[in-house]
Amino acid sequence: MTSDNSLPVTSRRWRNWGGNHQAVAADVLTPRTVDEVAASVKEAATAGHRIKVVGSGHSFTGIALADDRRMLLHRLAEPVSVVGDLVTVQAGMPLYRVNALLAEHGLALPSLGDIDRQTIAGAIATGTHGSARDHSTLASLVAGLTLVTGTGEVLHLGPAAELFPAARLGLGALGIVTEVTLRCVPAFVLLADERPLPLAEVLAGLDEQLAANEHLEFFWYPYTDHAQVKLNNRVAASDRPLSRFRAWMDDDFLSNTMLEVVCRLGRRIPASVPAISAISARALTARAYTDRSDRVFCTSRRVRFVEMEYEIPRAALPEVMAALPGIIAALPFRVQFPVEVRFTAPDDVWLSHGYGRESAYVAVHQYATSPHEPYFRAFEALCEPLGGRPHWGKLHYRDADSLRPAYPRFDAFLAARNTLDPHRLFTNTYLDRVLGP
């Protein structure tokens, strides 16, 4: 069996999907039951070891790096129960299997990101989100979870539990999540309406479009004034299927095969990138189709990249979009990926990027083998003074001191950490940086 990063899951060597982080663990743990997880934690605590759980490697930060004991939950990846709209699954189940399970029971998640390879525990722990007028992160859909603490105690936390708002998005810092209960909705069909538009037109009509559409996102192509807009809304029936040829052309050939080719070309001949970006902005023409919700939300991503994503107050988006062309023009290299913009509603999860406010998410990407740090640092310097919150699973350079003012419940989360993992069994270098040692 292999993980999404193509290394055997039991290998001591590990690298993330983007290829920008790697580690060698002293030992690899593969428990089959919650009791085995708890026993491993107790043994590690007694021996003075640390444990870091690793999902499918789709985080670009060092959140999953383990140089002591790495734990994999691929053997804890089965359904547990379906009771009405509450579905409980083991923590190692990947999102694509969660979506298939829900569809079998006439259910769905109301919003999803565009990648479904993550484990459900990894997705909620890092703040994975989609773009939705009425919904926030996947963590906000968690109605209960089972957590093995730093002392090996097994806790079942529900909405009434004091530590529940912390544990729903715990960064892997509070314990090992072994089961997750999700509050789902009846299965639904989406009408996807995707079209190229001038960026100025997208931004000018944004408030009206956000009010009128359940799901809206757009991609701006650097060095151009063009964007690709995606609107997804519920309809009664799937009566406008996308042809196999069109699906292959847009989602496989253009979005993966040709993107890989043009990224390699742009890496070798940087001067060609603006022209390539202009061609790419026009290559994906308008289309409209209907399909099951998760099939519309989620797409295949085979071209490797690194990413930084910032949540900002929605009112700050015009300032960020106005500044980005200048940032990109001043770089000593070319940017090969479009800028992605999404939106979510507020939630009450303590370390959620969308805690307490209407959010715009702006994501910048770069081809995995291309330089990125000056771009990402300049983008962060733009977003941080606006109250921006970096995505926990995507590259950023913030530390605990700079993050504390951005999260009203930051210190409450640290208190929860002291309660649940007093000896820092689950820490690593990344968590020491963003939460403090």
Q: Give the model's confidence band at 255: pLDDT under 50 very low, under 70 low, under 90 confident, else very high.
A: confident
Question: 376-402 pLDDT, tens per residue?
Answer: 999 999 999 999 999 999 999 999 999
pLDDT over threshold 60, residue 4: no
pLDDT over threshold 80, residue 130: yes
What is the Cα–Cα distance from 110 to 236, expressed in whole angstroms? 15
Q: Give the model's confidence band at 258: pLDDT under 50 very low, under 70 low, under 90 confident, else very high.
A: confident
Question: 409-433 pLDDT, tens per residue?
Answer: 999 999 999 999 999 999 999 999 9
- CA 366-368-372 angle, to 5 degrees, is 45
pLDDT over threshold 90, residue 32: yes
What is the Cα–Cα distance from 422 to 241, expressed in whole angstroms? 53
Q: Give the model's confidence band at 1: pLDDT under 50 very low, under 70 low, under 90 confident, else very high.
A: very low
Instruction: Please give the average per-residue pLDDT across 276-286, as a whole number.
Output: 77
pLDDT over threshold 80, residue 284: no
pLDDT over threshold 50, residue 293: yes
Where helices occur in 284-392 by DSSP H, the ranges are 293-297, 317-329, 373-383
Of residues 299 and 250, which shows the higher confidence score? 299
Q: Tell me, what's the pLDDT at 177?
A: 98
Question: 160-178 pLDDT, tens per residue?
Answer: 999 999 999 999 999 999 9
Q: Give the model's confidence band at 8: pLDDT under 50 very low, under 70 low, under 90 confident, else very high.
A: low
pLDDT over threshold 70, residue 2: no
pLDDT over threshold 90, residue 204: yes
* Sequence-distant (≥ 6) Cβ neighbours of residue 193 within 8 angstroms: 230, 231, 232, 233, 288
Determine which helix (DSSP H) or strand (DSSP E) holds 125, and give its type and residue range: helix 120-126
CA 436 to centroid of chain Cα atoms: 23
Name the nearest CA neighbour of 334 among 257, 256, 222.
222
Render the burial of 218-245: b for 16+ CB within 10 Å, e for the rest. Answer: bbbbbbbebbbbbbbeeeeeeeeebeee
Q: Tell me, what's the pLDDT at 108?
A: 98
What is the Cα–Cα distance from 231 to 215, expressed in whole angstroms? 6
Question: 177-187 pLDDT, tens per residue?
Answer: 999 999 999 99
Give me the CATH topology for the region 79-186. Answer: 3.30.465
Which of the 8 DSSP states describes residue 357?
S
- CA 119-124-127 angle, to 5 degrees, is 120
Identify any residues that bridge with 197 across adjacent strands, giving them in sequence order: 227
Average pLDDT, the chain: 94
Structure tokens at 58: 């789709």
Identify any residues that bridge with 375 across adjacent strands, giving them in sequence order: none
pLDDT over threshold 80, residue 280: no
Question: 316-326 pLDDT, tens per residue?
Answer: 999 999 999 99
Instruction: Using a pLDDT cut of 70, give the percent of the chain over it.
Output: 97
What is the Cα–Cα distance from 177 to 238, expressed in whole angstroms? 36
- C-alpha count within 13 angstroms, C-beta hemisphere, residue 344: 29
The architecture that CATH gives domain 189-396 is: 3-Layer(aba) Sandwich (3.40)
* Residue 90: strand, helix, or coil: strand
Instruction: Using a pLDDT cut of 90, give the percent of the chain over it.
Output: 84
Q: Where are the beta strands (DSSP E) in 294-356?
A: 305-313, 339-344
Q: Give the model's confidence band at 120: pLDDT under 50 very low, under 70 low, under 90 confident, else very high.
A: very high
Q: Are 349 and 407 in contact (CB under 8 A)?
A: no
pLDDT over threshold 90, residue 265: no
Segments making up each domain of the chain, as ranges? 79-186, 189-396
End-to-end CA distance of the chain: 35
pTM for the full model?
Answer: 0.94
**Encoded amino acid at 365, one letter:** H
Q: Are 83 and 165 in contact (CB under 8 A)?
A: no
Q: Is 314 exposed, middle or buried, given 0-12, 13-18 or 19+ CB atoms closer than 10 A?
A: middle
Rama region for 50: left / alpha / beta (φ>0; ψ in -120 to 50; rest)? beta
Instruction: Please give the average per-residue pLDDT across 111-129, as a whole number.
Output: 96
pLDDT over threshold 70, residue 406: yes
Name the nearest CA neighbour of 336 among 365, 376, 374.
365
Instruction: Please give the average per-residue pLDDT across 222-234, as a whole number.
Output: 96
Question: 65-100 pLDDT, tens per residue?
Answer: 998 999 999 999 999 999 999 999 999 999 999 999
Question: 14-29 pLDDT, tens per residue?
Answer: 999 999 999 999 999 9
